[in-house]
């Protein structure tokens, strides 16, 4: 699996994909579900797809009839599913370790 630095926005996006691993998502849909700005989501999608964690496809529609541009849909790959679960678990463990090291202010 490709090692990747896990930022908070990346973890939020991963959690959306992991909530329903077979559901396809497009950028704006993912941004809204993760509570992120669309400009933040697209670099994440590119990074995940480059790492092999996501596959994508462009929808086939008549753009004139639909009155909107085509969407690119993304879905977790089996590699992405395993790596995503590992990344979320590791982040939770690190967060727990950091909070355990904190001492009371008094």
Instruction: Look up the CATH number of the domain holding residue 32.
Output: 1.10.10.10
In-domain check, residue 28:
yes
pLDDT class of 95 with cuts at 50, 70, 90: confident
Give the range of the structural domain holding residue 49, as residue numbers without chain letter.
8-59+77-95
pLDDT tens for each residue of 12-61: 999 999 999 999 999 999 999 999 999 999 999 999 999 999 999 999 98
In-domain check, residue 24:
yes
In-domain check, residue 3:
no
pLDDT at position 103 is: 56
In-domain check, residue 103:
no
pLDDT at position 1 is: 47
Find the helix packing angle between 8-19 and 38-50, rounded to 10°.
70
From its phi and psi, is residue 101 left (phi > 0), alpha (psi between -120 and 50) or beta? alpha
Cβ-proximal residues to 10 (8 Å cutoff; 6+ apart), any chain? 4, 44, 47, 48, 87
Mean residue pLDDT of the chain comes to 89
* pTM for this entry: 0.83
């Amino acid at each position: 699996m490709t090692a990747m630095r896990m930022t908070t926005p990346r973890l939020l996006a991963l959690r959306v994909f992991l909530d329903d691993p077979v559901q396809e998502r497009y950028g704006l849909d993912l941004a809204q579900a993760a509570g992120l700005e669309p400009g933040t989501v697209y670099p994440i999608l590119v990074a995940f797809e480059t790492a092999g964690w996501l596959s994508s496809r462009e929808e086939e529609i008549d753009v004139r009839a639909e009155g909107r541009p085509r969407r690119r849909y993304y879905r977790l790959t089996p590699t992405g599913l395993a790596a995503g679960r590992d990344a979320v678990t590791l982040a939770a463990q690190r967060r727990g370790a950091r909070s355990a090291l904190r001492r009371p202010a008094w």
